[in-house]
Amino acid sequence: MTEKPAINTPLASKPAAAQEHIVAHSWSARLERFLLRHWYPITPRLTGFVRFLLPLSCLFGYVANARRQRQRRLLSFGPNRSLNALVVVVGNITTGGTGKTPLLIHLATQLRARGLRVAVLSKGYGSQHLRDEGQPRRVAAGDDPREVGDEPLLITRALAGSSLADTSRDVAHSELAAIPVVVSKDRCDGLDFLLAGNCRINPSQSPDDNRVSEVDVVLCDDGLQHYQMPRDIEYVVVDGKRGFGNGCLLPAGPLRESVSRLASVHQVVVNGSKEDLLALDLNFRCDDENPAQKNSFSLLSSGPATMQVLPVGATRLLPASSSLAAVDVTSVDLTQLLSQIKQVVAVTGTGNPQRFFSGIEPFISSNSSLHTIAFPDHHPFTLQDFLGLVEQLNLDAEDTQSVFLVTEKDAVKCRAFAAELPVAIYSVGIQVHVPESALAPILLGVDQLQQWRDATGSSLAGN
């Protein structure tokens, strides 16, 4: 039997809009909380637990660096190039959520608005299909999240116009729906699947067209440390609030690679404000040990960019259907929605739940209470999870008294049972703000790709 979440009663001295932090006490949630306390300490001193793990971190760093030196394959636009597309990895060097998925969606829509043919590749964490078969598969907006994974389905729905996630005003939803999202256990196999012409991007293209590929840019969701996969450009997203924690590699800290790895990527995007960027004090130089990077691109990013992910509204969840791609999402103003609500229950299963909770707080009225529930990342939400919270919190079933709020990543799993809940559940949409300069590495890469195509006779016809 699943242990009920523990509720901490707010102190009487707190304001009317008190927060009540509720955390799912599963073994994975307890382990996650324990590690986070040591990885992101309040004081800069290393705890005894971290010091005990430092030898393992040294071993981890040695193995990771050896794999990187042995397997890293940044492409060049020379005569031996085999891929007729630009491969862009959007990843991070820390565990947990940093905001790479919202950035990837933003990049996809911005590139599509410029007339480029874009595809998305994901490993599909938690996908039943990949556990059973493992073969590359295209994701549809009406797929079951248990079958294809929550993040690939979120990306697909956002690019199909069935989400409040950031989209470009300059490109129609029908064009965004033409952006294929592919999941594959092996990212190299997924890349081959995309470039072999298995996913038509131009809807007007004849099925008899035998061109090998019609992709300009492949955006890879995560996979920065998957060095077997060739790539042209690397984007790294850094959490502006959390930063790099205690600065230690796994398992003593949150780092998958050392901070010096940022010197070799083409664009660092800090998820936060300019103040967060200044507090991180990031200084880079071109990686002298990576001549392939220098040879591929004569101009690298001039410095890190900032990204702000802000709530833009909410939409009430309805049962899933096979025609989700054709559904227009109507946003409800969060302030108006929550103005008469007495109890707001924010529930999420993301890598950094506090970012979601902090984004909601400004919309809570002084007469309301906010309950925050953090489940483990990628938690497979069920109806019983929410019914248990309704009972435990004694939520009023009237629409004007209480409401559940979830992220769009969680919403793809909650939609199937939302209609069975006595309390309304809304998905909070987001909007991503990134400076235009952050696109520079990709646009430069596309120009060099086209020069290579012209020189080799591999150019593909435009849309």
Residues ≥6 apart with Cβ < 8 Å to 220 = 87, 88, 89, 90, 91, 120, 121, 122, 187, 191, 229, 231
**Calpha distance 162→326 (Å, rounded):** 7
More confident residue, 12 or 385: 385
Q: Beta partners for 344?
A: 370, 403
pLDDT in tens, 378-388: 889 999 999 99
Q: Quick one: pLDDT at residue 267?
A: 94
Q: How would you class 455 by CB atoms within 10 Å of its CB: exposed for 0-12, middle for 13-18, buried for 19 or more?
A: exposed
**Calpha distance 159→153 (Å, rounded):** 10
pLDDT band, very low/low/confident/very high, at 203 (cuts 50, 70, 90): very low
pLDDT in tens, 24-40: 556 777 788 889 899 99
Residue 132 identity (one-letter amino acid): D
More confident residue, 348 or 399: 348
Checking if the pLDDT of 167 tops 60, the result is no
Phi, psi of 287 (to 5 degrees): -70, 110
Checking if the pLDDT of 396 tops 90, the result is no
Checking if the pLDDT of 176 tops 70, the result is no
pLDDT in tens, 403-424: 999 999 999 999 889 989 999 9
**Calpha distance 253→247 (Å, rounded):** 6
pLDDT in tens, 265-316: 999 999 999 999 988 888 755 444 455 454 555 445 568 999 999 998 898 8
Checking if the pLDDT of 103 tops 70, the result is yes
**Calpha distance 18→34 (Å, rounded):** 25
DSSP string, 423-452: S-EEEEEEEEE--GGGGHHHHHHHHHHHHH
**Calpha distance 283→199 (Å, rounded):** 40
pLDDT in tens, 423-459: 999 999 999 999 999 999 999 999 999 999 999 887 5
Average pLDDT over residues 356-383: 90
Is the CB of residue 57 less than 8 Å from the CB of residue 254?
no
CA distances from 254 to 60, 95, 427 (A): 12, 5, 29
Q: Which CATH class is domain 63-307+435-453?
A: alpha beta
- Residues of the chain with pLDDT > 70, as a percent, come to 79
Give the residue extent of every domain in the chain.
6-34+309-433, 63-307+435-453
Checking if the pLDDT of 7 tops 50, the result is no
The mean pLDDT of the chain is: 82
